[in-house]
């Protein structure tokens, strides 16, 4: 009955999982580290175009000087003859589209402006952009047994084995020689960052593990091993980590839950902490092992 109950629970968890369906960064509401395209149509190709970003929403707004060490980096996608002035204005001919990377220091409200001049008259348009600082979330899922643990879709039918038998290959079976043991089992979890349109580094911290469990290894999406440094520091180019946990086997091995610590799990650049505790834990379940009693003989 216990195993049937666990199987039903596992199916409910599988059907209810949807870890990657939340909102993403947009050009009007970007997240720090995101890159978006901004464009106006019907710009005459021979017109002189001046693109700039300001904190002001008025004619005559003061441009902010961008750059790698500033709040943003702006560059032309089309047009010709572009140059960036020391005043923060990107000038060119017929530039109707620019790319802006909102750096980790960006926060609050900005206005992206395009001034167009035909040599006689000029026109100005802009739109409001609100950088979503403080938005960071990490999600965890049990991906044990999957052939593709980094990419498997946990919200659909998959090859994840969230209910397993303890690993019998690790048993030390000889009861009258050495130290007999029921061995250990390795289970695998994936931790994703929700908002992937960013290159900010991030850190993952876990709550204390249950007795008899330890983190065996942590690897990022590129396969690089990450050491524990009061948490696991993940390079900004990597959107997930795989965490292998070793648990001690028992006849009735307790189900194991790995939990993300919300306060310690952060975007390193913005220092924004994990903002959704509802997706911070995942549980792996174990079937019971059959019992074998004490040995006797004549």
d(CA 181, CA 97): 66
Per-residue pLDDT reduced to its tens digit, 26-50: 899 987 778 999 999 999 999 999 9
d(CA 75, CA 272): 27
What pLDDT score was predicted for residue 25?
A: 75
Query: Domain spans of the chain?
Result: 35-131, 136-286
As given in the structure block, the two tokens for residue 263 are 């306060």
Assessment of whether the complete model's pTM goes beyond 0.75: no
Per-residue pLDDT reduced to its tens digit, 276-292: 999 999 999 999 999 99
Distances (CA, A) of 34 to 52, 113, 120, 236: 18, 19, 37, 11
Give buried/exposed letters for 35-61 (b at 16+ CB in 10 A, else e). bbebebeebeeebbbbbbbbeeeeeeb
What pLDDT score was predicted for residue 251?
A: 97
Mean pLDDT for all residues in the chain = 89
Pick the CATH number of 136-286 from 3.30.70, 2.60.40, 1.10.3470, 3.50.4: 2.60.40
Expressed in percent and rounded to 5, the helix, strand and coil fractions of the chain are: 5, 35, 55
pLDDT > 70: what percent of the chain?
A: 91
């Amino acid at each position: 009955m216990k195993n049937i109950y666990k199987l039903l629970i596992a199916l409910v968890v599988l059907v209810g999982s949807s870890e990657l369906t939340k909102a993403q960064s947009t050009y009007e509401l970007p997240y720090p580290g995101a890159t978006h395209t901004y464009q106006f149509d019907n710009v005459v190709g021979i017109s002189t175009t001046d693109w700039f970003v300001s904190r002001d929403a008025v004619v005559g707004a003061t441009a902010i000087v961008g750059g790698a060490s500033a709040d943003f980096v702006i560059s032309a996608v089309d047009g010709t003859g572009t140059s960036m002035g020391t005043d923060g204005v990107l000038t060119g001919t017929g530039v109707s589209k620019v790319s802006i990377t909102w750096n980790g220091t960006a926060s609050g409200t900005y206005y992206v402006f395009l001034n167009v001049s035909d040599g006689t008259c000029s026109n100005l348009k802009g739109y409001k952009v609100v950088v979503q600082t403080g938005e960071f979330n990490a999600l965890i899922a049990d991906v044990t047994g999957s052939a593709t643990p980094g990419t498997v879709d946990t919200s659909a039918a998959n090859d994840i084995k969230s209910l397993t038998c303890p690993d019998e290959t690790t048993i030390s079976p000889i009861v009258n020689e050495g130290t007999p043991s029921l061995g250990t089992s390795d289970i695998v979890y994936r931790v994703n960052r929700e908002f992937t349109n960013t290159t900010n580094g991030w850190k993952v911290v876990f709550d204390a593990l249950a007795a008899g469990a330890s983190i065996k290894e942590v690897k990022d999406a590129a396969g690089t091993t990450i050491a524990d440094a009061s948490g696991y520091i993940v390079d900004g180019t990597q959107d997930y980590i795989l965490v292998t946990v070793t648990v001690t086997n028992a006849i009735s091995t307790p189900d194991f839950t790995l939990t993300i610590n919300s306060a310690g799990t952060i975007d390193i650049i913005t220092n924004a902490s994990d903002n959704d505790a509802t997706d911070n834990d995942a549980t792996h379940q174990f079937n019971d092992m059959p019992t074998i009693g004490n040995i006797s003989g004549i």
